[in-house]
Structure 1
Amino acid sequence: MLGETGPEWLSEEVKTGTTIIAIEFNGGVVLGSDSRVSAGASVVNRVMNKLSPLHDKIYCALSGSAADAQTIAEMVNYQLDVHSIEIGEDPQVRSAATLVRNISYKYKEELSAHLIVAGWDRRDGGQVFATLNGLLTRQPFAVGGSGSSYVYGFVDAEYRRGMSKEECQQFVVNTLSLAMNRDGSSGGVAYIVTIDEHSTEEKVVLGNNLPTFFDQ
């Protein structure tokens, strides 16, 4: 029987825990995340999509406090829509990443979130930006979240420049699978978004279809 205060997880901050990743290929980007959301030791959502659209061809991957990360994404989505109307064309990926960086830094005492921003624009093609503590850096790939510490060795060893779109998609799936096997805060399904000049493709890979490296 529950006490008057209710279950312990109700008083815990809801966090995405998570593993997030984004990588550039020639002509676009691939983003990926797991789907587990936890509050303390309890899993409160097994299938949250942590890849949030900021504009038609710009997405962000969320980690940290679920509410804080979603709030930042919604603020940037609104500001990018206004910016796009003002300039009469689609916004640049760097503009989206700069907005995320500015909001995250301005409210660093109130908000606890880390977002990776990635997408495609006509000026610079596919781009990945890491935003953290006021920093904004473009990188060929970026990983984040609690599961990232388990896969840095893997991504450093397996990444190579010039990978095709299909190779980058497999790289993202493999990285997420490894993190979800090792990190107790990562799990569920894998969400994948592939963006290039012609399309934005969303895909879900169920847990039983993820590759396993431990039976080989």
Structure 2
Amino acid sequence: MNHLPEAWGRPRDDIYGAYDHSFVAASQPNTHTQSPIVTGTSVVALKFNGGVVIAADNLASYGSLARFTDMERLRQVGTHTVVGASGDVSDMQHIFTKTLENLTISEEYQSDDGHRLRAKHVYSYLSRVLYQRRNKFNPLWNVLLVAGWDEGKPFLASADLLGTTFSAPALASGFGAHLAIPLLRRVAPDEAAVEGITRERAIEVVEECMKVLFYRDARSMNRYTMAVVTGSKDEAGKEKVDIEWRKDIELKQQSWKFAEGIRGYGAQTV
């Protein structure tokens, strides 16, 4: 007797011919990529009194190979928002070039009602897209940081591939969640501390985080992109949002000779 599942409830093959296995293949569930191939590492963001600073390096790694060195992982959405993505680069491109562009076209151009997408709107939409894909067991392998201006104050929040959402005055994804967050929280331990952080101080802290990540994260590089979202009101009381881009910033590398002074380095006697 043939005990294979496809033979259950049917006559033997040697009498009625071989079984058509195409029926079995057609009934199998869809399978999706469950492991990212080309990935980007940390995104770092910090609120300040009047806006948000967000930065991400330009490297996309193929495993441990520094494959693509000009991959910007920040994208402006509308007039109020910048989205940063770490994780799988192909999923990031899907979010940037399809999901967010379709959202912008639909909400700002097709409607033509004067309404403009704010940071909270973009964040709510992306968090639900991620959660919906997770429920289909085909997640978008990214952690997204949404920075911008909303209702007269800076906005910063995070959403991951499971649809988990939260906000904080300082956020980082990837390896930065371990290395950059402690540095950021020294400056912004809570929302109340944001009022005392100037734009210059916020940029300085984020630059320091990018420097630490370059030296400590093997998937990082010394060139990165930064966006500074600043909100204010004009004389008529109308809200005004400005997004300043600083692209292809290059860190000034220090000599690796300092490694000789680290205990246990190389063949030195300790």
User: What's the TM-score once normalised by structure 1's chain length?
Assistant: 0.83
Q: Which has the larger radius of gyration?
A: 2
C-alpha separation in 1, matches of 2:38 and 2:181? 25
C-alpha separation in 2, matches of 1:210 and 1:79? 40
Q: What corresponds to 1:37 in structure 2?
A: 60
The alpha carbon displacement at 1:210 in A equals: 6.7
Question: Is the contact between residue 191 and residue 203 of structure 1 (CA under 8 Å) also seen in structure 2?
Answer: yes
C-alpha separation in 1, matches of 2:81 and 2:251? 29
C-alpha separation in 1, matches of 2:253 and 2:51? 23
Aligned length: 201
Q: CA 1:210–1:191 in structure 2 vs 1: closer, same or farther (change >3 Å)?
A: farther
C-alpha separation in 2, matches of 1:144 and 1:67? 17
C-alpha separation in 2, matches of 1:129 and 1:45? 27
Q: CA 1:172–1:48 in structure 2 vs 1: closer, same or farther (change >3 Å)?
A: same
Question: Is the contact between residue 53 and residue 77 of structure 1 (CA under 8 Å) also seen in structure 2?
Answer: no
Matches within 5 A, 1:19-98: 19-74=42-97, 75-85=99-109, 86=111, 87-98=113-124
Question: Is the contact between residue 42 and residue 175 of structure 2 (CA under 8 Å) also seen in structure 1?
Answer: yes
Letter in 2 for 1:27: G
The alpha carbon displacement at 1:205 in A equals: 5.5
RMSD value over aligned CA atoms?
2.3
The alpha carbon displacement at 1:170 in A equals: 1.0
Q: What corresponds to 1:141 in structure 2?
A: 170
C-alpha separation in 2, matches of 1:183 and 1:128? 24
Q: What corresponds to 2:128 in structure 1?
A: 102
Question: Is the contact between residue 226 and residue 245 of structure 2 (CA under 8 Å) also seen in structure 1?
Answer: yes
Question: Is the contact between residue 29 and residue 194 of structure 1 (CA under 8 Å) also seen in structure 2?
Answer: yes
Cα deviation per residue 1:106-129 (whole Å; 9 max; x = unaligned)?
Answer: 1123221111001113x2421001
C-alpha separation in 2, matches of 1:116 and 1:208? 23
Letter in 1 for 2:245: E
Deviating more after overlay: 150-159 vs 195-204: 150-159
Question: Is the contact between residue 171 and residue 181 of structure 2 (CA under 8 Å) also seen in structure 1?
Answer: no
C-alpha separation in 2, matches of 1:211 and 1:126? 34
Identity %: 19
User: What's the TM-score once normalised by structure 2's chain length?
Assistant: 0.68
Letter in 2 for 1:15: T
Question: Is the contact between residue 108 and residue 117 of structure 2 (CA under 8 Å) also seen in structure 1?
Answer: yes
- SS of 2:70's partner is coil
Question: Is the contact between residue 62 and residue 116 of structure 1 (CA under 8 Å) also seen in structure 2?
Answer: yes
Letter in 2 for 1:199: D
Q: What corresponds to 1:209 in structure 2?
A: 252
- Residue 199 of structure 1 pairs with residue 248 of structure 2: no
- SS of 1:102's partner is helix
Deviating more after overlay: 101-110 vs 166-175: 101-110
Q: What corresponds to 2:9 in structure 1?
A: none
Point out where structure 1 has 5 or more consecutive residues left out of the alignment: 1-11
Q: CA 1:89–1:41 in structure 2 vs 1: closer, same or farther (change >3 Å)?
A: same
- Residue 125 of structure 1 pairs with residue 149 of structure 2: no
C-alpha separation in 2, matches of 1:126 and 1:211? 34
Point out where structure 2 has 5 or more consecutive residues left out of the alignment: 1-35, 232-240, 259-270
Q: CA 1:89–1:209 in structure 2 vs 1: closer, same or farther (change >3 Å)?
A: farther
Q: CA 1:211–1:153 in structure 2 vs 1: closer, same or farther (change >3 Å)?
A: farther
